[in-house]
Structure 1
Amino acid sequence: MLCAAELVACVIDGSNLTDSFERMLDARPGWPDATRGAVRDLAWSTLRDFGRGDAILDRLLHSQPPTLIRALLLVAIQRLRQRPEHAHTVVDQAVQAAATAMPGLKGMVNGVLRNALRQQSEWASWIGANPVSAQAYPAWWIERVRAGMPEQWEALLAAGNQRPPMALRVNRRRCTLEAALAELAAAGIEAKRLGDATLLLAQPVAVARLPGYAEGRLSVQDAGAQQAARLLAPRDGERVLDACAAPGGKTAHLLESADVELLALELDPRRAQRIRANLDRLGLQAEIRVADCCDLRSWWDGRPFDRILADVPCSASGVVRRHPDIKWLRRDEDIAGFATQQRRIVDALWQTLAPGGTMLYVTCSVFEQENAAQIARFLDRHADAECVPIDASPDCQLLPDAEHDGFYFARLRKQA
């Protein structure tokens, strides 16, 4: 419980959850998979329920404790909500954790949690008293979604609060979908087919349990993310650019789909190393360069690309259930900043696209300012650009559901 609280405290203090967890794992290399999974699940679920634990604590605390102790109380409240039948054990574990972290406050932790249990029948009304705790999102986020999707906003927010599904991509250069299904079944892992190379697991499992993963027959990739390669549809012999490539899932999928000359760009050297590791595991080859995709002089040799994948930085509002720290860390004004960055990227990349070529614009956002509004402004700026319909629609907005995360796609063709 203390380790989960430390992760929550890092996020409250402004740190990235995934980075904090990786640092924790590096410091504890001997942790078994079960421990890693338990810490991760508790921290992620606590942050996924943004505002709900706070709604309870705010009724019980007379003054704000240190961040770590508040985080510990949030984690304990989350566990009490998940496992009310284990209340005595949960309180005892929280008190022991406080005794380790800040011994002088273990009595306070014990008193707050026991008081919380005495008033447990009131929790639902406390949580439902305001939209932030009821929906488990910041107020500005709720308003953006409500304004952009007035008929779907509640379902969209609810989907973002659920545990995410686990999907696999079959490397068709090394395995068939049928063979992968058979291997999973033999390992006791239930899965169903979603597409030509996509499998959805009934329950998430540790990567180490996946037969064929280490040998490059499978990759973990959300089913929505796998639509990028299908929509860009590279052909043998083409020159392809993946402009914001790390960690390399879409890069690999493009290379599994066709024999292309692919350049993968990534600004962060450490993240670029992850692209290479993924490609090596899958037996794939691409040129990987560390560069700012907007600075054409630093990486472009003047040869145009037939197809470009522009998976641009965004709010990640469509994948918030995988990255619940986003709810704590994002601010309303950040969305305009992302939109400006996206504009710079697509305007720069458009210069490198061959006449008749295709650029696929991708975000993992559900906010209109980063998606349809961004594309509308792009078309206004570029007279030589036209939208290519996606499944009979001008673009494609996938909303998170039981099978995939939230993504936006727009397919743009440069007129010859």
Structure 2
Amino acid sequence: MVRDEFDDGCDWDGGNVVPWGPIQCEQHEADRILPDPVDGLDFESPSIKSLNKENLSEFEALMLGEVSNDGSSEDELDIDTATTSSEDDTFFPFMDLPLEIRQQIYHWIHLMNPIRLTQFAPWYPIPVNRGYFVNAITAPSENDSNTPEASDETPRPTATRTAPILSPWRPYSCMPTSMLRVSKQIYYESRELPFRNNEFVFVNWFASGLWAARSFIRGLQSWQTQTMHYARLELLSRDLAGRYVDEWRELCGAWSEGLRGLRLKILSSGGGVGTGGGVSWVVAGSPQRGAPTAGVRDEEGKVEEWIENGLKQLKRLRCLEVELSAADWDDNTKLEWCRNLEEALNESKTEAEQHVRVCCVERARDL
């Protein structure tokens, strides 16, 4: 509006129209006395409405912007606007999730990235990566010995899958490098996951599994070797005696603070010498009768060095599965050998300490 459009019955104050009323004009604008615009109004009168939201009519609320045409309140409009803006302008707050939920997400990312062995050359064979299933050999129960079919001979141990053995379904997976490089926090939260959950397998393939395991851990850092929880290892009996026992001791030392479960296969030595200083199982062929086997105690009754200075270093070991591949050993002999091994591992432990459970197993024939 233009000021000149108003007559002398109104006044202009800072660009706003002041209600009509008597005024006293002085020579200077600063000395003017303006009437109180609310003089003479009775706020208790029922004809005067307060501008509280509770007293507004639907039309007045719409005009004041308290509600929208669809009936939504101003607060609801603000929430919807903020949500839409958050979805469009920002990213998902992953780090605001609880640590347990982030760990579950890391777990699924780990399972979605299986390790694929590289074929170095068409003529170079690589071990087939597949599940390794075993059955536990258990002593026959008293009821079995009283059956009519039982003979006077010592009852033969039976193999069963109901005995508590380590899971053969552990993953062979890795964490994507792109995820580990997102931030330091994500790196430290997820870097140990493959070492804790994977089963690391070292088999006799052109050389002893002991040589393969030692070559692998030498390329790792200390926190990686001490975080490995599960391993499957094939050994030749000569790897646990003589000059090779030092290599076995070195491997157990690397796993001393981390390994929880170990699946150990011990094969009777025989055949020629393979690369890497160990006997090659590929060259050796099947176990031969009369081949030397690993012992638990020497002639004087002392625990063998591969147990005393090797397996006993595994302070967190809880379950040890032993598969004995000896041509002239029956199941009773294998079961007794494993019992002696369990006794040797736990003889120096107190009742309060966690004891190692040794389970005698054999390869599942129907898988």
If the length of structure 1 is used for normalisation, what is the TM-score?
0.25
Query: Which of the two has higher C-alpha Rg?
Result: 2
Q: Please identify which structure carries the higher helix content.
A: 1
